[in-house]
Amino acid sequence: MSLCFLVEGDRTEKRLYRAWVGHVFPSLTQVLTIGEITSSSYCVISGGGIPLYKEELRDALSDIRQNAEVRHLFLCIDAEELSREDRRREMEDEIRKAEIESRVRTGNPWLAIHPIVQNCCVETWFLGHAKMMRRNPSSELLREFKGFYDVSERDPERMAAYRGFRTRAEFHLHYLKEMLREQNPMLSYTKKRPDAVLGADYLQALRHRCVATGHLASLQELFDTWESIAPRAAPA
């Protein structure tokens, strides 16, 4: 099995997918470029935080055309202020265009392309670890956030932006930082150092949340896809 992840974000998503692939598909080896992918390896290409996934997708598919070993391409993009459905439609359109422009099928007819919408961003997913939310937070700010929307009870994907925040993603990031800091002052989360949420236990807690509550549907879609391509390799 060989996987390629094309992510838009700077360091967070790159580190996230590397860590999760390590937990879910431990037999795969990480390589740095699409050209180096073999039948049991993966790579994560980042756009460096520049919202240009359309161009990068075309370029990545051009590389994949020349490497028939690549079987799955995951295009992982934040929904941001769009709905999950709208972002997904946009991504599917771009995938269709890029497939034609890159002529990827002429060299790699077996490639499966999976659009993954991070709704609204990866921090939204991380908010889904219910045990990370204290029953009675000591931080006033976290109490305020929890009062506005308790992510341990309600679906984080449906949470709007709190007053004073310009976007949902900005609020979700802030909420996550507060929630983790309250749990353990040493668990600081930054976009560049997201280590606090990359462990196998954290991933397992998110999987459990998806299954038990039906929340985080966009993350569930990623897990479902992984199960469909390697059912026995994925954790139960």
Partner 1 sequence: MKINTFTYLDRRTQWQLEETRFDQLNLLVGVSGVGKTKILQRLRRVCEIAGGSGEAPGAVEWAIDFDHEGQSYRWEAGTDVVKVGELREDATAEPGEEGESSDFVHERVVVNGEVLIDRQGDRFTFAGQPLPKLKKKDSAIALLENEKAVRPIRSAFRRVLFSIAPEVLLGLPFHAFRADEVARRVATYKALPKGAEGFTTFREKLTESGLTNLSEYVTLAVYYLQEAFPEEMRRLGDLFSEIFPSVVSLKVARSIARELSSTIALDLIIEEEGASVPISQSEMSSGMLRTLVHLIEISLSPPGAVIVVDEFENSLGINCMPELTRLMLSRPDCQFILTSHHPYVINNLPPTTWRLVTRKGSKVRVKDARDLPALQVASHQQAFIRLINLPEYEEGIS
Residue closer to partner 1, measured from CB, 47 or 194: 47
Classify the C-alpha dihedral 118-119-123-124 as positive or negative. Answer: negative
Interaction between residue 62 and partner 1 (CB under 8 A)? yes
Cα–Cα distance list, 183 to 31, 50, 137 (Å): 35, 32, 9
Contact with partner 1 (CB under 8 A) among 38, 40, 51, 55? 55
Residue closer to partner 1, measured from CB, 67 or 118: 67
Contact with partner 1 (CB under 8 A) among 8, 13, 63, 123? 63
Rounded to a whole number of angstroms, the CA Rg of the chain reads 18
Interaction between residue 83 and partner 1 (CB under 8 A)? no
Interaction between residue 54 and partner 1 (CB under 8 A)? no
Interaction between residue 59 and partner 1 (CB under 8 A)? yes
Tokens, residue 18: 């590397």
Interface pattern 102-141 for partner 1 (x via CB under 8 A): x---------------------------------------
**Torsions phi, psi for 6 (to 5 deg):** -115, 115
Cα–Cα distance list, 133 to 122, 137, 220 (Å): 17, 8, 21
> What crossing angle do the helices spanning 200-213 and 12-24 adopt, rounded to 10°?
80
Half-sphere exposure of 82 (CA within 13 A, CB side): 13
Alpha carbons 96 and 125: distance in angstroms, whole number: 27
Interaction between residue 32 and partner 1 (CB under 8 A)? yes
Question: Segment contacting partner 1 (CB under 8 A): 45-53, 87-95, 130-138, 194-202?
Answer: 45-53
Interaction between residue 198 and partner 1 (CB under 8 A)? no
> Total residues at the site for partner 1 (CB under 8 A)?
20
The residues binding partner 1 (CB under 8 A) are 11, 14, 32-36, 45-48, 50, 55-56, 59-60, 62-63, 66, 102
